[in-house]
Structure formats: C-alpha cells, structure tokens
Amino acid sequence: MSDTYILSLDQGTTSTRAIIFDHDGHIVGIAQRPIKQIYPQPGWVEHDPIEIWESVREVMDEVFISASIKPSQIAAIGITNQRETAVVWDKTTGQPIYNAVVWQSRQTTEVCDKLKQGGHEAIIRERTGLRIDPYFSGTKVAWILDHVDGARSRAEKGELLFGTIDTWLIWNLSGRLVHVTDYSNASRTLLYNIFECSWDKDLLEILDIPASLLPKVSSSSEVYGYTDPAFFNGIAVPIAGAAGDQQAALFGQQCFEPGMAKNTYGTGCFMLMNTGETAVRSNHGLLTTIAWGIDGNIEYALEGSVFVAGSAIQWLRDGLELIESAAETDAYASGLDSTEGVYVVPAFVGLGTPYWDSDVRGAVFGLTRGTGKAHLIRATLESIAYQTKDVALVMEEDSGIPISKLRVDGGAVGNEFLMQFQCDMLGVSVERPTVQETTALGAAYLAGLAVGYWKDRTALVGQAKVDKRFEPMISEQKRKQLHEGWIKAVNAAAAFK
C-alpha cells in the first residue's frame, strides 16, 4: 500500500480540485483551477460543462507533478461534486445542449410556481424529502428541455442524456461509456424516491422528463467503470466512488454515527446530520436526503442549506471591491469589538433553510455615519454564522438531538474570526480538522473502500485529527441579544419585496 494512492476529483462551484491522498489520509498532491461563473440574467447562474471537463483534465495532469507520482500508482478515483447542477448533452456528439444550470440559479422560479399552483408540494416532499425550489435539478432539466430548440423531441427520441456533475465527469472519464450517478446525488434531483430508491414515474410525468435521459443509480462506493486509457498514459484506473460534495464531507469528517453533524463553509454553507437508517422528516425547512448508499444499505441525513456564505465574501472582494482577498476579512473583523449594530443579510439568491424564500434579496441594516468598511466586512462574516445558527436550531428541534459539537470544513474555515464567532453563536465547541479538504477525503474514502485500499470504516478512525477546537467565549445573554438583532434584520429583508 505504501506506494499506491487514491485520486480524488472535487468539482466545486468555484473551482475544480484534484487531490491525491495516501493510505493515512494525508494529502500528497493538490492541483486547483477556478471555474468561470456565468450570470446571463439577474439571479441566474450557469457554468460551461466543457470548461468543467477541461478543468478536470488539467488538474489531473498537474496533480501528478505536484505529488511526484505516476498514474500507475493510483488504486482508484473518487468523484465529488457541486450538487444539483444539471447538464443535458447529446449522447452521440458528447456536446451539452445548454450551459450547466447551477444549483444557485433561480431561473426556474416560474416552473416552481407552476408546480406549487398544481398542488404538487406534498407528493414532492413525501417522496423526495425535498421541497419545490429552483435549487434542485428537476426543474432545471425541465427548463433546459423547454428552452432549447428541439430539445424535447430529441429527448423523446432518446438522443439526450442528463447528469449532475458526477455523472457528466464519469461519462467523460470512462470514454463516454458509463452513465451513472450515486444515491446521494440522485437524492438531490427532485426526481428520485429516496424511500423506494428508484426514479419516480409520477414526478417524471409531472415535470415531463423522459426516463431515457436518466443515469443508472449506483452505490456511492463501487467500481462504476475504468478511465479511458487515453487520459493516463495507457492505464485504465477504476472509478470507484462518488458522492455529492456535502455528503462526501460528512463521510470525510467520519460522521458515521447517527447524531454526528458537520458544517461546510464554501460558496454556500451546508450542515448535515447523520440520521442512520432513519429518514427523519422536518417541520422546519430542513431537507431529508440520502447521505450515502453502500452495499445496498442506505443511510440518511438531515440537511440545512444556506445558499450564500463564502460567495458573500466574494461579493465584498469582486462586487464592492472592499478587499483584495477573502483572507483579509479576518483582520478587518478582529480589529473591531462589534459591528456596532450593523447586520448584512446576504440573500442574493433568496434564502434557504429555514426560510425558503426565493424572492427575498440582500439588505444591510443599522448603518450610521460611523459605519466603515470594517463594519460591513465583519457583518458579512457574522451573517454566515447567524445563518448557520438558524439551521442548527431547527436541526436540533427536528432531530431531537442536541448538537453538542460541530465539525467544520470548507474554504472559509481558515478564518479564525468566523470560527470563533460561529462558536460563540452556537454556544458549543467547533472542531476544525487537520485535513480541511474533507470533501475530497470523503470521496477518496468511498473509492478506497470499494477497491479494498482500506478494509472498512474502522480502518479510517485513527485518521481524524483536530487542528483546532474553538470554545464559546460570550455569555448566553449576549448571544441571545446578537441573534435577536439578526432575526429582526432577516424579517425586515423578507418584508421588502
């Protein structure tokens, strides 16, 4: 085992990463490429699927140089991906018929309104564990079929394929042979019955999506196929694991037992709690979703989805041009004692859990003549922690399990101010792992387990190491007072429509 490794491909919203892990779960090489964000209209977000695939090719080439190893030393590849983002392509030419419609995009609001008017909310919640919102893939596929000339008839003739990004990548990596997704990604489409574990005929009919478009749904940890030898100097490497990035992070954080939870701070923020073999239904806007399916056993999770987290920091950088890098926000925020009553509600694409309001937009409250750049920066960072607090409150209520400790990961967890403020807001320990690429690690674990690189989950336990544990430093009264201000701000933003 000492000279073999697992390659993980993490295709996220803002970048594509290839990371090589060794048998101890250590990173031995990493390569990263940014992904262009396309905003054709306000509220719409798209990606170029060809650019995504090319970025994967590039990082795969680079990572071997970074790690100084050869493709023949890769025991398996694991795939993890931004979820819900939908691609439809021609199965003969391999060309997408439209851009990838990204999870954040609101362009299917009208399709969703029609579904709601048609009274379909109950059946969708009942069978998918999700809700009617432009976030999920189903309405994006329907939208593409309705907006691209001739797409629907081509779909009916069986000429087109649909996939989330995992599917798109596996299809390309396998030399266009394997059209597959895993349970966790299927559970985000709005088309998959997470209780019966099958594509749902009624939902396909409601959204008018031909079944011929759909990939086969497989285990999150099994050999789906092999890479086209053209990509790795004639070597065919097993593609052996796949999971949506948030579920992969849950696995990478080793949240294997019911009640264990993690929060990932990337473009958005996603808190998932493992609920084991029980699919817990939510009364407060959490999603019931598949964590992973392995060897025929499905494990579920409760999820709170926050649409804007790190992307609010990108707005400070690229929109307002207040900072040059995301990392600078730490010093600005720590240099103040408080925001002096300023609240930023970064509802740029509406609000997810627990509000689920597509129409609300961003707002800033509490400005005075004394408000400066640092106050806005700090209030934006704090908004990430407040949104997470809102999710944690409903998660505890719906699961009946107190969150006694939160494991964190994702691009923004290097921000010490944010982590401490998060901890203060939750009033429980926040644990940041040594390997913060837990999403990629989770995909590597899933792939490695499938090929016997690791024997079973117990072989992974010793690998989870804590880099830093944050402990709460403010009083309950202060916590309550700050959070009440946030709730007022959210309600005021929601009233302004």
Ligand X SMILES: Nc1ncnc2c1ncn2[C@@H]1O[C@H](COP(=O)(O)OP(=O)(O)O)[C@@H](O)[C@H]1O
Q: Which is nearer to ligand X, 66 or 314 (CB)?
A: 314
Query: Rounded to whole angstroms, how far apart are CA atoms 377 and 316?
Result: 7
Name the minimum Å distance from CB 252 to ligand G3P: 12
411 is in an annotated binding site: yes
83 is in an annotated binding site: yes
Chain residue whose CB lies nearest ligand X:
411
Name the minimum Å distance from CB 11 to ligand X: 9
- The interface partner of residue 187, options being ligand X, ligand G3P, none and the CB cut-off 5 to 8 Å by kind, is none
15 is in an annotated binding site: yes
Q: Which is nearer to ligand X, 71 or 350 (CB)?
A: 350
Residue 291 CB partners (closer than 8 Å, separation 6+): 184, 247, 250, 251, 272, 274, 275, 299, 300, 301
Are 20 and 7 within 8 A, CB to CB? yes
Backbone CA torsion sign across 112, 118, 122, 123: negative
Q: Which is nearer to ligand X, 334 or 429 (CB)?
A: 334
- Helix (H) or strand (E) holding 29, with range, is strand 27-34
Count, residues in the chain: 497
The residue ranges that bind ligand X (CB under 6 A) are: 12-15, 266-267, 310-311, 313-314, 326-327, 329-330, 410-412, 414-415
14 is in an annotated binding site: yes
**Widest Cα–Cα separation across the chain:** 65
Query: Rounded to whole angstroms, how far apart are CA atoms 30 and 16?
Result: 11
The residue ranges that bind ligand G3P (CB under 6 A) are: 12-13, 82-84, 103, 244-246, 266-268
Name the minimum Å distance from CB 128 to ligand G3P: 14
Query: Rounded to whole angstroms, how far apart are CA atoms 243 and 82?
Result: 10
- The interface partner of residue 415, options being ligand G3P, ligand X, none and the CB cut-off 5 to 8 Å by kind, is ligand X
- The interface partner of residue 246, options being ligand G3P, ligand X, none and the CB cut-off 5 to 8 Å by kind, is ligand G3P
DSSP state of 357: B
Strands (E), 150-286: 160-163, 180-182, 192-193, 198-199, 216-218, 221-226, 238-244, 261-265, 269-276
Q: Which is nearer to ligand G3P, 83 or 127 (CB)?
A: 83
Are 138 and 123 within 8 A, CB to CB? no
- The interface partner of residue 15, options being ligand X, ligand G3P, none and the CB cut-off 5 to 8 Å by kind, is ligand X
DSSP string, 448-479: HHHTTSS-SGGGGGGG--EEEEE---S-HHHH
Three-state SS at 427: coil
- Helix (H) or strand (E) holding 284, with range, is none
Name the minimum Å distance from CB 158 to ligand X: 34
- The interface partner of residue 103, options being ligand X, ligand G3P, none and the CB cut-off 5 to 8 Å by kind, is ligand G3P
Q: State the amino acid at position 25 in one-letter form.
A: G
Query: Rounded to whole angstroms, how far apart are CA atoms 335 and 212?
Result: 57
Name the minimum Å distance from CB 218 to ligand G3P: 19
310 is in an annotated binding site: yes
Name the minimum Å distance from CB 408 to ligand X: 11
- The interface partner of residue 163, options being ligand X, ligand G3P, none and the CB cut-off 5 to 8 Å by kind, is none
13 is in an annotated binding site: yes
253 is in an annotated binding site: no
Are 87 and 26 within 8 A, CB to CB? no
- The interface partner of residue 398, options being ligand X, ligand G3P, none and the CB cut-off 5 to 8 Å by kind, is none
- The interface partner of residue 412, options being ligand G3P, ligand X, none and the CB cut-off 5 to 8 Å by kind, is ligand X
Residue 119 CB partners (closer than 8 Å, separation 6+): none
314 is in an annotated binding site: yes
267 is in an annotated binding site: yes
Are 188 and 248 within 8 A, CB to CB? no
Q: Which is nearer to ligand X, 266 or 346 (CB)?
A: 266
104 is in an annotated binding site: no
Q: Which is nearer to ligand X, 67 or 412 (CB)?
A: 412
Query: Rounded to whole angstroms, how far apart are CA atoms 166 and 185?
Result: 8
Name the minimum Å distance from CB 330 to ligand X: 6
Q: Which is nearer to ligand G3P, 222 or 245 (CB)?
A: 245
> Which two tokens mark 241?
């694991």
Q: Which is nearer to ligand X, 200 or 303 (CB)?
A: 303
Nearest to 103 by CA among 249, 266, 216: 266
Name the minimum Å distance from CB 245 to ligand G3P: 5
Q: Which is nearer to ligand G3P, 25 or 310 (CB)?
A: 310
**Annotated binding residues, as ranges?**
13-15, 17, 83-84, 135, 245-246, 267, 310, 314, 411, 415
Binding residue ranges for ATP: 13-15, 267, 310, 314, 411
Residues annotated within a binding site for glycerol: 83-84, 135, 245-246
Binding residues for ADP: 13, 17, 267, 310, 411, 415
